[in-house]
Structure 1
Amino acid sequence: MNYYLSLFLICFFLNVNGQETYYSSKDIAINTLIDGTLLVPNNTAKPKLAIIITDYGPTDRNGNQNFSNNNALKKLAESLTSKGIATFRYDKRIVKQILKKKIDAHITFDDYITDAISVIDYFKNEASYSEIYIIGHGQGSLIGMLAAKDKADGFISLAGTSQSIDKVIIEQIGAMDPTLIEATTKAFESLKQGKLTSEYPQALETIFRADVQPFIMNWMQYDPQHIIKSLDMPVLVVNGTKDLQVSVDEAKALKLASQKADLKVIDNMNHVLFIIEGDELENSKSYNESFRPISEVLTTTISEFILN
């Protein structure tokens, strides 16, 4: 064999640590709405599979959206597969719609649950995997625990909140401007009763726009603590101390709600799974810095949880 070809093949099958990373990659269309990427370790008969569900907004399979290009979920998938775990990560349905310029203005939170269940069912029917675990990041934590119930073998929450979304938003608004709490709470009370409202702080137009309210109304009916308590499977809750969006207290509350849950708090890890040694400016900038590696403690913690 040509010397340079041999050298290329050796380098291709080695990662930076000199460990073998033999796995295959395949793009799969679950249905007309959902596309994703499957990574499967070679020479492993019926490996365990981890399905990764993305965060809020038009987030793609790699964990990216406009002005936030970090590839965090792609790195997570590749790291887990290099440790012998098959992974599937997929674009939220809105991503495909944006690319095709055919956006459904009536997407609901329940649609994302339906999509996650479709993914689980696809791989259960394929019967190529010994166990199926769900990893939900951010909003994907709530979607994942709802989809995982009675279907998956284990569930992992990454930076998931412990409160319904209305309570999360009210808490965040209060931290920014306490004078908006009363009006924000009143607006959510209207949505809780199934009524759209035009009475809300104009500073919160992006949250309470008329076209967004039905989605929020659907989303806020779910209580993560109640749902995680109902999961009859191994559960792992993970959060980082440098997460600007979800505090460690949220992870602790999820842990307390589930007798089956283990909790791992990772020092200096932020919301997009990077280790941040500096200040909030470095933290914020990192969301768009794809050159950063994700936390090694994170990948070790998750892989040990799944494999053991």
Structure 2
Amino acid sequence: MITTLIAAASLAAAAPAVRSSELAAGPLKGTLVQPIGKTAATVLILPGSGPTDRDGNNPLGVKANSYRLLAEGLAADGVASVRIDKRGLGGSKVAGDPNKVMVADYVADTRAWIAAARAATGARCVWLAGHSEGGLIALASAGEKDVCGLVLLTTGGRPLGQIIREQLRANPANAPVLPQAEAALASLEGGQRADVSAMHPALARGLFNPAVQDFLIDLMRQDPVQLLRGYRGPVLVVSGGRDLQVGKADAAALAAARPGVVAAEFANMNHVLKDAPADRAANLATYADPSLPLAARLAERIAAFVKAPRR
């Protein structure tokens, strides 16, 4: 029994000391995670597409807890983080209709979160860590005041329409509806809403739901490479070798956008920031498994980048 108690005490002593608390930016709500003691940097985690919450989960089958795990991993390395519910969702539900947002709205929200994070942590500036679509929002927000730099996590390096088209073509099950999807994408890329009246229900109620088409049009106007070329601060591009949604070409395009961009590829990491098997079905199964840890050394790599001394 004495040995057991000593072992337990040793484990408790080794565990990183962190504290977690609710944080608000006006009607927007999020979670602040801080190391106990000195905070070396502060990171704002910008979530991916759809109804993705502050933990990185959404009701469409993603329960990976990726952002919660990232926040805890960063705190263990002395880095504070704020992870957020997007306007109209979760704790930020009162902030507005989630289907009536544009990129400029998310940029305004990012601005508010930067101010809230600085006030809560005393940081001189805040790093923007955008995951997937959140990476595009980070790029669009890069010119805001008090941004230290960017961490782009499995972020597309091409306009969204090109990425969606590639994703649809990659799945043989989409073959019957691919002509309808291609036509809808062409309309949206041209700035026109797509007619869903004769569209397959899975497309009409899902990807091309009329409620989100204006936002899709706005997203498709954004060119991540051009946005990155216009930003001079430090940038880390993080990619996964087993990402089924964003390919190696996207990371390569971002890394080549301008000199000074740092790239880090994690060979076994997938889109939800977990180490995953090569098999497609097994890879997708990790999306619904919160018990799996974050990809090995991911949090440490990000923490090292944001803590590195710069002139």
TM-score scaled by length of structure 2 = 0.85
Q: SS where residue 228 of structure 1 aligns?
A: helix
Structure 2 CA distance for partners of 1:147 and 1:181, relative to 1, 3 Å: same
**1:38-187 aligned within 5 A:** 38-44=32-38, 47-66=40-59, 67-96=61-90, 103-124=97-118, 128-151=122-145, 152-176=147-171, 184-187=181-184
Residue 96 of structure 1: how far off its partner (Å): 2.8
Is contact 1:269–1:276 with CA below 8 Å preserved after alignment? yes
Moved more, 273-282 or 242-251: 273-282
Is contact 2:161–2:189 with CA below 8 Å preserved after alignment? no
Cα distance in 2, alignment partners of residues 116 and 223 from structure 1: 19
Is contact 2:47–2:133 with CA below 8 Å preserved after alignment? yes
Tell whether 2:188 aligns with 1:216.
no
**1:217-296 aligned within 5 A:** 217-296=217-296
Cα distance in 2, alignment partners of residues 272 and 192 from structure 1: 27
Cα distance in 2, alignment partners of residues 245 and 235 from structure 1: 21
Letter in 1 for 2:226: H
Moved more, 80-89 or 296-305: 296-305
Is contact 1:70–1:272 with CA below 8 Å preserved after alignment? yes
Residue 94 of structure 1: how far off its partner (Å): 3.1
Residue 7 of structure 1: how far off its partner (Å): 8.0
Residue 105 of structure 1: how far off its partner (Å): 4.0
Is contact 1:58–1:94 with CA below 8 Å preserved after alignment? no
Residue 282 of structure 1: how far off its partner (Å): 1.6
Structure 1: state its 5+ residue gaps: none
Cα distance in 1, alignment partners of residues 164 and 210 from structure 2: 17
Deviations for 1:194-227, whole angstroms, at most 9, x for unmatched residues? 4323178536322223222111111111101111
Residue 192 of structure 1: how far off its partner (Å): 4.1
Residue 186 of structure 1: how far off its partner (Å): 4.4
What is the total number of aligned residue pairs between the two structures? 298
Cα distance in 2, alignment partners of residues 229 and 69 from structure 1: 34
**RMSD between aligned residues:** 2.9
Cα distance in 2, alignment partners of residues 121 and 88 from structure 1: 11
Letter in 2 for 1:123: A
Letter in 2 for 1:58: P
Structure 2: state its 5+ residue gaps: none
Cα distance in 2, alignment partners of residues 172 and 43 from structure 1: 44
Deviations for 1:219-256, whole angstroms, at most 9, x for unmatched residues? 11110111111111110001111111111221111101
Residue 90 of structure 1: how far off its partner (Å): 0.7
2:187 matched to which residue of 1?
Answer: 190
